[in-house]
Amino acid sequence: MASRKLEESIEMRAWARDAVEAGIRTPAELQAYFEDNGWKPDLPTAPTLKVLLQGAGVVLRNGRWMLKDE
């Protein structure tokens, strides 16, 4: 992830967990979630979005993003 303040990183991870609980499964959906819900700091980059999803329990399997337990 890009160099960010610790508080910002923690909040970004919390947003990602909330997004996954709301049904978000792809990096594009996660970016839209951040934009639609008013994320104020710089938006996460594509690699950061992937890391956030993986940290929230979503993996890329056979070309499809899904929860680890699916």
**Domain spans of the chain, in order of start:** 6-67
- 19-49: string of b/e by CB count within 10 Å (b at 16+)? bbeeebbebebbbebbeeeebeeeebeeebb
Give me the pLDDT at residue 41, please.
83
Query: Which pLDDT tens digit goes with each residue over 7-58?
Result: 999 999 999 999 999 999 999 999 999 999 999 888 999 999 999 999 999 9
